[in-house]
Amino acid sequence: MENEPVGTSYIFYLQEEQQQAVHDALVRQTLLSVDANSKRGEPMPYTLSSDWVVTSLLLLCFILTSYVMARGKQHIKEEFKNFFSIKERTNLFDETTASDMRHKLALIFQTCMLEAFCLFDYFIKQESNILNDLPHSILLISLIIITVLFYVLKWVLYLSVNTILFNKTKSDIWLKSYFNVIIWIGFLLAPVVLLTVFFDLSTTFSYYIILIILIFGKILLIYKCMHIFFNNSYGAFHFILYFCAVEILPSLLLLKGLLLINSYWF
């Protein structure tokens, strides 16, 4: 009888220890498993304004524009006036210096980046899982490279075709006018891209504005092309063939290439 209390207390001790072990196991299972009725935390959605690559490249665009406007604003104004001038002739007092050429190349590169931003915004909004399959920085840089290569190929195409069909003076005037239009498209796209990135501009509205800007650029090119090359009575038919071959066809090939890349990657 003297050993009975000791045995009873020992049994109670073992029972409590077993209950504690079961309780600890249930706690660990609860912490490691997710309750089916609970709500999972949702990750923050991707935004352009929170992407450091996007903001860094937009800052680079701002620096390029500020630098060029501080040093070459007068030359840009003269190019704008000469674009709409009636007489197309070379001027001995209107020579393009090396610094002016660097300024134009910087603004053309800015236009390439802004157009790549528009394509990037289109891809990430139309393809919801695009950033899961490809890093955003690689996609954006790839689109910038594609846009730069597109304009380089257009420049080579214009240079080769115009050298064969027209004289050097008209070819130089056309190339200068063409790249001026590209620069002006960049100026018009800049506020649209900024509003899209930092103020979440409506997707449909931004697409319409971008489309209007691109159509406006094509109208300027059509005006200048007719004025330089096909200003006679039978030039309309030649103009259609020329403009389709060197302007519309490369744009369609670029669109087809982007669609193929989209289908290959995603």
* 94 neighbors 82 (Cβ within 8 angstroms): yes
Alpha helices in the chain, H assignment, sequence order? 4-32, 52-83, 98-126, 130-133, 136-165, 168-198, 203-228, 235-243, 249-265
CA atoms of 229 and 239, how far apart (whole Å)? 8
Tell me the per-residue pLDDT of 137-186, one tens digit each, with 9 for 90 and over: 888 888 888 889 888 888 888 888 777 777 778 778 888 888 899 999 99
Nearest CA among 166, 179, 149 for reference residue 80? 179
Domain ranges for the chain: 48-79+94-265
User: Cβ(113)–Cβ(140) under 8 Å?
Assistant: no
pLDDT at 92: 43
| pLDDT tens, position by position, 89-106 | 555 445 667 777 888 888
